[in-house]
Structure 1
Amino acid sequence: MGKVNVCLKRGYITVTSLIAILSALLLAITLFSHGYFEDEEVEKMHAGLHAMYVISIVTLLLTILGVYGACKEKQWPLIVFTVGIILGSLFMTACEIRALVVRPQLAEEMKRHYLDMLPLPNANEGFLDGLMYVQSELQCCGLDQGYQDWGYNISSSCLCTEESTNPCVAAPRNSSLSEFMVDDQPVMIYKEACLPYLIGDEISGINAALGIMMGVILLWMLAAVLGVVILCRLSQKDETPAVVYSPEAKAGNYAVLVDAAEYT
């Protein structure tokens, strides 16, 4: 069995330990999500949470085997780790490709989901609370048709402020915001609708998640390559120098340099 280069072993252990840390973080996030969300929300996320549990735990176990195999220079743990990490990389690559393919469809589905909430006065309270926060933060009003989506009762979160950077328009004088009028001056509200901002933010989040997944895939592939290199090195046999037989060595071919009689 060949000896593994120290730098190669340290690099492999570093990469594998980093994967273990990411797996532990994923497991912690999954446990937190399971306890943070309410029972109804957890039921909707049931399949996703189970998948995160399986991925994080299996990956953590594989990394433990991989580090053990590298430290003890044992082949079977390294083989299990390398095969598992390669299969995981292929699975994540397939998920990445599928997500890239369906990403345009996700934007259309999100648009339909938000448009189903119209008219806004009839939407549920939880959605309206979230929309009011979005209107204040993103400086927009309504979903599709701007402030008209609110009808007569325009939300006060649509009011423009001195720090507003997005364009504003005058609110209808017969709206619920007329109480904010001062000296018969029109009340200014945000002109643009929130739907493009909402979809853009969610698509940006999806792109960020896909980018993180790609980084994880590359990290896993690097660990797999290092594992294969270590296995190849362990499979090699160290060459030992050949022993050459010499008849002269057997005969004891020595020469006397000084006659011992001279010292008697």
Structure 2
Amino acid sequence: MGKVNSCLKRVFIFFNFLFGILGGVLLVFGILAHALHHEQIENKMIGIFFLYIIGGATMAISFVGAYGAYKEKKWALIVFVTVMSLGGIALLWIAVPLVISRPTVYSVIEEQFRSVVPLDEADPQIQQAAETLQAQFKCCGLFDGYRDWRSHIPQSCLCSPDQSADKCEKAERSYRMLDFSRFSDRLRDTEKLVYKQSCFPILMTYAEKALDITLGILFGLAVLALLGALMAVIMLCQIKDQPVAAPAVFTVNPQPPKYSELFNNDNCQIGSTGSVDTTNFKMGKVNSCLKRVFIFFNFLFGILGGVLLVFGILAHALHHEQVENKMVGLIFLYIIGGATMAISFVGAYGAYKEKKWALIVFVVVMIMGGIALLRIAVPIGVARPAVYSVIEEQFRSAVPLDEADPQIQQAAETLQAQFKCCGLFDGYRDWRSHIPQSCLCSPDQSADKCEKAERSYQMLLLSHFSDRTLDTEKLVYKQSCFPILMTYAEKALDITLGILFGLAVLALLGALMAVIMLCQIKDQPVVAPAVFTVNPQPPKYSELFNKVDC
């Protein structure tokens, strides 16, 4: 069979060894869960079976992959490629929709929790869970602090004596109807101080971190699965059918050959000096399939760089009047686009000509670029909730809108007219008694999307409005603008993170292919030329014929 590159084979076997360890860890978790929760096994049987199946399948496919690489068996590598590709696609199928629907997931969770408020009327199990949460995180209520319990504030809401005063607040008189007959004297003295922090924001912080970790694991496993499939495909390209060699046949010639047949031939004449043609001794051959894939990869990468350059040129041409304000962004597009085209050319040249220096430059630049992209993307993904909080704080600082800067008011009105909404957070109330025309519902707007403004908010300057507007002046858009704006911001951030992670993965994949080609390129062997000297006397016939060792 065609020889598989030894460097690639070792990396692939080590990859499968780690993958097998992962499967073993999942199996151990399943066994431990089975042993520790054998009394409640019926409720958790599905999860335990899932661990058994995934762990066993992971160990099995890692063994098949390692066996296929070690023995260079095509069937084993084909099975490995199929399973790993399907597994990677399945993981991405789960992870990508989860990222896209992340805000919706949070909204559904919030709705579920809001449905149990007020807590004093909730199910006893929910009340017990809420009290456990309050005692653990030193918080009170879910959304509105102690008010969520109304006049039945539990003991778990009371601040402890060692708690700092800035984390506690006094409950209003109407919320202090507590049954303290079972409390200690210490608690009676502090009965008016309850935790200021609500529990739901704390709970959501942990939920967001758990979701971030889950998404990281899903995307990481998907990338590893596709990397393993790629390495297996490269090995399949290197394994070629074994040529059928005809057996060597030796015949006995009763008559020795003529002297001229032994000593004279067309390639080596007496009295001449020559050398062996070394033109066929080339560098170690790079797999042609890998080379084509790599060159095509660099072709697409070069197109991406060209697109960035075109965007920069178009932006420069369209906004030449305001170019000073956007010069940094234009320079960034020029540099990134030019560098991308240059490195793609270097990579394609190195693969086509099998030049080590070009491939090494490509590997270094792509690894640095991939790490830089991950350095940008990972902190953004981790700090995503904090980014949303900062954005919300910035927008809340502009409320009430009737006292905001004129530019902010103009931007808010443009937003309202475009998305058919009013205000930022609390609808038309954000404008107080100066509701603008952009908040008024149009006649063709459905009634469920509009509401009547309260009398105290109806002081509108309508002198420049039409009669049609006067008839509907009390109907304003019900929807606030900030949630709509945040939906678009979340989608934009999702797309940005997808592009960053996608480019990082492509950069590292390109670097991996270049490293594999470097492993296949070997130094050219130095062959000494064969020199034929002139012998004035031809050798004896017996010296030529008797040297044959049969």
Whether the TM-score (by the shorter chain) exceeds 0.5 is yes
TM-score by length of 1: 0.77
Contact 1:27–1:57 under 8 Å retained in 2 = yes
Whether 1:189 aligns to 2:476 is: yes
Equivalence for 2:486: 199
Equivalence for 2:365: 84
Q: CA deviation at 1:83?
A: 1.2
Which stretch of structure 1 is more off in the superposition, 17-26 or 155-164? 155-164
Write out aligned runs for 1:86-101 (5 A): 86-101=367-382
CA RMSD of aligned residues (A): 3.3
Contact 1:135–1:158 under 8 Å retained in 2 = yes
Q: Which has the higher contact order (CA 8 A, sep 6+)?
A: 1
Q: CA deviation at 1:251?
A: 2.6
Which stretch of structure 1 is more off in the superposition, 117-126 or 137-146? 117-126
Equivalence for 1:160: 441
Equivalence for 2:545: 251
Equivalence for 1:114: 395
121 and 41 in structure 1: CA distance in 2 versus 1, 3 angstrom threshold? farther
Give me the whole-angstrom Cα distance separating, in 1, the residues matched to 2:344 and 2:413.
Answer: 45
Residue ranges of structure 1 left out of the alignment (5+ in a row): 239-247, 254-264
Q: CA deviation at 1:220?
A: 1.3
Give the secondary structure class of the aligned counterpart of 2:284. coil
Equivalence for 2:285: 3
Give me the whole-angstrom Cα distance separating, in 1, the residues matched to 2:352 and 2:343.
Answer: 14
Equivalence for 1:19: 301
Q: CA deviation at 1:66?
A: 0.9
Contact 2:401–2:409 under 8 Å retained in 1 = yes
Equivalence for 2:91: none
Equivalence for 1:169: 451
Q: CA deviation at 1:215?
A: 1.2
Q: Which of 335, 341, 349 does residue 68 from structure 1 map onto? A: 349
Give me the whole-angstrom Cα distance separating, in 2, the residues matched to 1:7 and 1:89.
Answer: 24
Structure with greater proportional helix content: 1
Residue type of the partner of 2:480? A
174 and 22 in structure 1: CA distance in 2 versus 1, 3 angstrom threshold? same
Equivalence for 2:81: none
Residue ranges of structure 2 left out of the alignment (5+ in a row): 1-282, 526-541
Which stretch of structure 1 is more off in the superposition, 162-171 or 58-67? 162-171
Aligned length: 243
Q: CA deviation at 1:97?
A: 0.8
Whether 1:150 aligns to 2:431 is: yes
Residue type of the partner of 1:118? V
Equivalence for 1:262: none
TM-score by length of 2: 0.40
Give me the whole-angstrom Cα distance separating, in 2, the residues matched to 1:10 and 1:17.
Answer: 10
Deviations 1:137-193 (Å, cap 9, x if unpaired)? 3231011221122233322222223244863111344323586233xx663111222
Contact 1:2–1:234 under 8 Å retained in 2 = yes
